[in-house]
Amino acid sequence: MEASILKQSPVTFRESDHTYWLDGRQLHGVTGTIIRTAFPGKYDGIPKAVLDNAASKGHAIHEEIEYHDRFGTDADTPRLKRYEALKTANGLKVVENEYLVSDNETFASSIDIVMADAGDNICLVDTKTTYTLDKQSTALQLSMYRRLFEQQNPGLKVARLYALWLPQRDETIAELHELQPVDDAYLDDIIKQTLDILANPEEEQQAAPVTQEEEPLPDGYKDLETAYDYWARIKAEADAHLDGLKKQIMQLLIDSERKKVSTPLYTCSIVGETSKKVFDEKAFRSKHEDLWNEYLTKDKVTKSYIQIKARNNG
């Protein structure tokens, strides 16, 4: 399949502010409307600086892939090598990068990559560079792309939807996930809700829950809190991942009958089970209050510290 078979949209993408225009009217991107309707608050609590930094890095990875595909540059980085390996393993070839689709009325977006499989079937690919892959929202995004693609290209049908996961945090990771399209009725409902919101934007503004505070928050507290929440979630996910790796390393040492392995990076050792006797202070005090008081020493001073407890882990 050649790119020439694809119909080109009359919509113009304005790179300076990442907006879509047709005959002087601004159209709406899918992620800022459809995805926002289906997943409100998806990025709430994440500092703008963090989002901007992630967006900048993600844009650079998208450009790296597009430049490689368009000009046939050498796959000379770990990310590009794994990307090429994924295409070969799945029998995929690139038809077009950043293919713009639109209904020419309300919505317009650029599909990251249009590919064709070994049977010349059309596959739409969305590249994600996030810390984790959100398959649910990506499936909805690609389903909307499929609808716009098929409207723009009567007679052409999309066979498969893929998420290409290239996380910013590790250029050696490249995964291709086939996603199932969402139900047509569900997509219709999300589109209707989105159109209603676009027609009445003031209705989108939901009143934030009011909380009773004993006193106003200190200046700058909210920004610090949202930053803490973002990194706490990242840490929890990283800790879970590290725990899993520790279990794998331990099992590997057990299977190889090794108790210790040393490399320039780490020393990994299996620490055997241990037990120790403990003194039951509560029981002793209840039976020997006089001795307890006799041997009490002065209070141990603990330095002050901050304690942060999550009130809502949803």
Residue 19, class by beta-carbon neighbours within 10 Å (0-12 exposed, 13-18 middle, 19+ buried)? Answer: middle
Question: With 50 as the cut, is the pLDDT of residue 210 above it?
Answer: no
Please report the pLDDT score of residue 313 as a whole number. Answer: 43
Q: Read off the pLDDT of each residue in 257-285 and give the average, rounded to a whole number.
A: 89
Summarised one tens digit per residue, pLDDT across range 76-92 is 999 999 999 999 999 99
- The average pLDDT across 44-49 equals 73
Instruction: Check residue 3 and give its pLDDT.
Output: 67
Instruction: Indicate the pTM of the whole model.
Output: 0.66
What share of the chain in percent tops pLDDT 70? 91
For the chain, give the mean pLDDT.
87
Between 32-46, 106-120, 141-155, the lowest mean confidence (pLDDT) is in 32-46
CA distances from 294 to 46, 129, 281, 298 (A): 54, 64, 14, 11
Confidence of residue 203 (pLDDT cuts 50, 70, 90): low
Q: Whole-angstrom Cα distance, residue 164 to residue 23?
A: 33
Distinct helix (H) and strand (E) counts, the chain: 8, 10
Mean pLDDT highest for which of 23-27, 47-51, 292-296, 297-301? 23-27
CA gap 125, 157 in Å, rounded: 14
**Residue 74, helix vs strand vs coil:** coil
DSSP 275: -
Give the residue, 302 or 258, on which the prediction is more confident.
258
- Kindly report the number of other CB atoms within 10 A of residue 37's CB atom: 20
